[in-house]
Chains A and B, each alone.
Chain A
Amino acid sequence: MKNNSKKVLPLTIQNASVSEKVNKKSTTLISIKKYQSTQNTNDIFYRPISKL
């Protein structure tokens, strides 16, 4: 008999990535090409001021 208190895990990590692979626009690992970390400097703003 099924124990209802137990968690059910229908998805593997690979399954979660499937829809991403279908769509080229968003990959499982999002690279930050243009706005990389600025934690090593205080002089650069850490997010785009506008989004053109």
Chain B
Amino acid sequence: MRLTTEEEAMLAGKEGPAAAKAMEILFALGEIYGAEQLVPVVSVQVAGVSYGNLGQAGLDFLCEWADQGARVVVPATLNPAGMDLKAWQEMGIPEDYARRQLEIIGAYQAMGVTINCSCTPYLAGNVPEFGQHVAWSESSAVSYANSVLGARTNREGGPSALAAAITGRTPAYGLHLERNRQAGLVVEVNCRLTSAADYSALGYIVGQTAKDRVPYFRFNSGPQPGLDELKALGAAMAASGAVALYHVEGVTPEARSRDVLAGGAAIVAIESAEEGYRALDGTSQAVDLVWIGCPHASLAEIEHAADQLHGRHLEAELWVTTAREVLDAATARGLTSRIEACGGRVVADACLIGAPLGEMGIGAVATNSSKAAFYLRNHSHLQVRFGTLAQCIEAALKGKWPV
């Protein structure tokens, strides 16, 4: 890999030890993955925020890097934390957890990262344009940036994303190069999908099939997916597989701007999304908590939840997780108070993966996201129900899964 004079100087420590370490990380990754050069990035999304995932090791490292003088030079936003940074007490978060979580946030703040904790930065002001290079972590956001916005990013880990923010650069390999953005798998969807959960279930199936291929969807039945459906589809494929880019014929920008189908692409036909529900839906009758907002809910999705509640009183907990900016918009439109009046909660900043749910007495969770279901089952060892928003709201009203 070739570095410019300026990059060489940074590697040699001319801009301090923190920038040198960042450049060392990017140089090593560029060598490993065969990049020829670094490219400038317009924004960064940093993963590795919740204390539950990062642990003490990650906290120590972030503090040391910040103390060495690490500062970001391009706009950088954060992944969700393990709690609402303001209303964590109301959530029932243990104090010790909260203290460490706030230390992590403090380290990022010292580096100049925007404290906007969300897995949907594109709904909260960090919106790259078509063709721009970015360095994002958080697999669902990576998928959205590449596929729905047409920006270009690999799936970064926390430290490599932060290194990109400190240097303003990322090694040009993988999805930064047009030749790696061709689709190798055509997915003919022949059934009619009617909810974001249906797209999430479909994504779970396709993510497992796609392996390292870029999927190219044709929705042959019914309406084309909107932004919320694309968000659900991409998040699911990035969780069940390693899909960081997909195209939808006639819908996503790259598929509309050039021929993205590689010669000899394989074809699969999907006749039903049922298999995706079956793979993740558990058997627990009782539901303690209903979680909407994985990835973080859009304003439209919050409104949808409020409409379905219809002012009725909830038996189970209902949490709608979202970006702080979207929460503020929902509050301004009266949606937050409508959900709270029923006994539900709209939570900013947080992801429930990495939140101390066990310590909070939660045993069974229902969700309309296959990604949430997948991680709750595998990492948090909770009982999980996976269904549509309508089923989830019904479960929140009754405290048990609808038959």
Query: Is A bound to B?
Result: no
Spell out A's residues near B (CB within 8 Å): none
